[in-house]
Structure 1
């Protein structure tokens, strides 16, 4: 088999890996996450180029929302403690996007084939959402704490200050912000390496 055919097969497999990859082995280190799933890094860079949101912010969101599980769902509700009556919400996938918000994203971006269990689509969704948060509520795309509060409460809820009386949510938003800052510091140390791509890293690492 020729080198170019091998290269094409590896590239194809790399693209597929972004769709339904298992959770990363070291989710607390952004460099390790992207080393393990380089297609995720390419998707994160594409998101940043399109929406201007730094890669560490949506990655911190995804950790908080799904721990990087592509098929994450909300817990089931039960009647009388044992009869299932549906899930607490329609949130699904890496970004835990709800049906209605995901539909808005697809209409707004014309990405009608986007799926919530596809990592590239999920991180692009968060980029779109954070960009809208900046436009609607003036929150910096680098401000993971207030961006997350918008993400959780919605743009109207954030304006009304619904989060102010939710101490648990403020604690979660603070953790998201801390993780984003930690991810950002890690990313700055490995960005140059990651930007070389898989072939360079395979040959010279």
Structure 2
């Protein structure tokens, strides 16, 4: 076997051992399929539900909207003159699309310095923590996927000011999140049987 071929095989093996599986599940419209394909997602969301009280279907719908279940999702680049990349639209990253500052606040408050946005168990714990705080500060029921999405997207201060009312596109997206949460809720109830 040639030296080049051995080196190529070794590089292929090493690269396959790298990061995690950040791809999306195959059928994002079927909660049962997501749970079957990625049981670790369901375990992480159930743990967050037990700890923070945020239902699995609300977490699933929010993650779907934020990252489509892609673990290393990033916001698009901004471009100067339409062609020169000048950075990303925001620091949002991972399953939950948490911003750097909010993620660091979570890590500090929860004493989880090793938590990573591209790890599903950390992302769902973050989401539960954030929505729990939102319920305490704004009185939004943890079952209200629409309002939680608006507060998640706009931040609690923006939500309290009603900044979403000037964004018809965001109101439409939040309704899609609510509809998807309800769809996932029904599917999860049927696939547990």
CA distance in 2, matches of 1:105, 1:95: 13
The runs of at least 4 aligned residues of structure 1 exceeding 4 Å deviation read none
How far apart are residue 191 of structure 1 and its match?
A: 2.8
Q: Partner of 1:132 in structure 2? A: 133
Q: 1:21 to 1:91 in 2, by over 3 A?
A: closer
Q: What is the CA–CA distance in structure 2 between the aligned matches of 1:125 and 1:165, rounded to whole Å?
A: 28
Indicate how the Cα distance of structure 1 residues 21 and 79 shifts in structure 2: closer, same or farther if over 3 A, else same. closer
* SS of 1:77 mapped into structure 2: strand
Show the counterpart of 2:176. Answer: 175
TM-score (norm 1): 0.82
Deviations 1:19-50 (A, max 9, x none): 53421111111111011111111111100000
Q: How many residues align?
A: 174
Aligned to 2:10: none
What is the SS of the residue equivalent to 2:79?
strand
Task: Note the C-alpha offset of 1:165.
Answer: 1.2
Task: Tell me the distance in 2 between the aligned counterparts of 1:89 and 1:131.
Answer: 24
List gaps (5 residues or longer) in structure 1.
1-18, 193-205
Which residue does 1:42 correspond to in 2? 43
Report the 3-state secondary structure (helix = DSSP H, G, I; strand = E; otherwise coil) of the residue aligned with 2:192.
Answer: helix
